[in-house]
């Protein structure tokens, strides 16, 4: 009983720590005061200013476009990579797995500087495509690990039975693997979807 109360209190404290600042931020967005220290009345002026700020709206649009594209491409490439790592034996498989974990464990700033140096060395113009490539590189390992973990939990006998019944590799992928892996693919997309700063 006491353990359950302690657990409940601990979880309440964690949720309060996570969500109270967000609630305060939302409430203060309707505060007439410029700094939000004192409540000076209800207003929606700040939202009107935001909606009339073209540069901020354009930045938000670019950020959303980049997030959707990078998440979609990373999910497509990552899901196929996870299937390849799960289903096939090929030369360099341990190297590919190792490199995925290196990218996952590397700090973001190290990856960003490494990619910037690479782009400068090979003469790639910095812009939309270089940023998209960078974000796909950041997101790819998370998709691969998520989908691969789901694939490892499959009952292999289903795949063997499909093969015994004459199903081709493409049919097995389309009719068995992808439908069963769909929750992990969706989770990988959501993990990859994070808006780009500015």
| pLDDT reported for residue 177 | 82
Task: Name the residue ranges covered by the structural domains of the chain.
Answer: 1-49, 57-192
Tell me: the pLDDT tens digits for 30-61?
888 877 677 888 888 888 888 888 888 888 88
Q: What is the pTM of this model?
A: 0.74
Measured distance CA(160)–CA(162) in Å, rounded: 5
Tell me: the pLDDT tens digits for 82-111?
988 888 788 888 888 888 888 888 888 888
pLDDT at 14 over 80: yes
Tell me: the pLDDT tens digits for 139-166?
898 899 999 888 888 777 877 787 877 8
- Work out the pLDDT band at 195, boundaries 50, 70, 90: low
pLDDT at 197 over 70: no
| pLDDT reported for residue 163 | 80
In sequence order, the β-bridge partners of residue 31 are 42
| pLDDT reported for residue 96 | 82
CB within 8 Å of 73: residues ≥ 6 apart: 132, 136
Measured distance CA(136)–CA(70) in Å, rounded: 5
| pLDDT reported for residue 75 | 94
DSSP string, 20-35: HHHHHHHHHTTBSSSS
Q: Are 192 and 142 in contact (CB under 8 A)?
A: yes
Q: Which helix (H) or strand (E) holds 57?
A: helix 54-87
CATH class as words, domain 57-192: mainly alpha
CB within 8 Å of 149: residues ≥ 6 apart: 184
pLDDT at 20 over 60: yes
Tell me: the pLDDT tens digits for 110-124?
888 988 899 999 988
| pLDDT reported for residue 83 | 87
| pLDDT reported for residue 36 | 67
Six-digit token pair at 121? 């060395």
């Amino acid at each position: 009983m006491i353990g359950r109360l302690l657990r409940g209190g601990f979880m309440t404290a964690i949720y309060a720590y996570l969500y109270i600042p967000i609630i305060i931020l939302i409430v203060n967005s309707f505060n007439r005061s410029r700094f939000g220290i004192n409540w000076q009345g209800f207003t929606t002026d700040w939202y009107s200013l935001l909606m009339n700020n073209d540069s901020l709206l354009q930045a938000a649009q670019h950020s959303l476009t980049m997030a959707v594209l990078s998440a979609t491409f990373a999910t497509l490439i990552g899901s196929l990579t996870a299937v390849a790592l799960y289903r096939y034996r090929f030369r360099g498989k341990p190297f590919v797995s190792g490199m995925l974990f290196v990218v996952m464990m590397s700090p973001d700033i190290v990856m960003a500087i490494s990619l910037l140096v690479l782009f400068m060395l090979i003469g790639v113009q910095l812009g939309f495509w270089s940023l998209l490539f960078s974000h796909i590189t950041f997101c790819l390992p998370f998709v691969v690990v998520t989908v691969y973990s789901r694939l490892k939990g499959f009952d292999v006998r289903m795949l063997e039975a499909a093969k015994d019944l004459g199903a081709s590799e493409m049919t097995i992928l389309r009719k068995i693997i992808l439908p069963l892996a769909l929750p992990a693919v969706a989770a990988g997309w959501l993990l990859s979807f994070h808006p780009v700063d500015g």
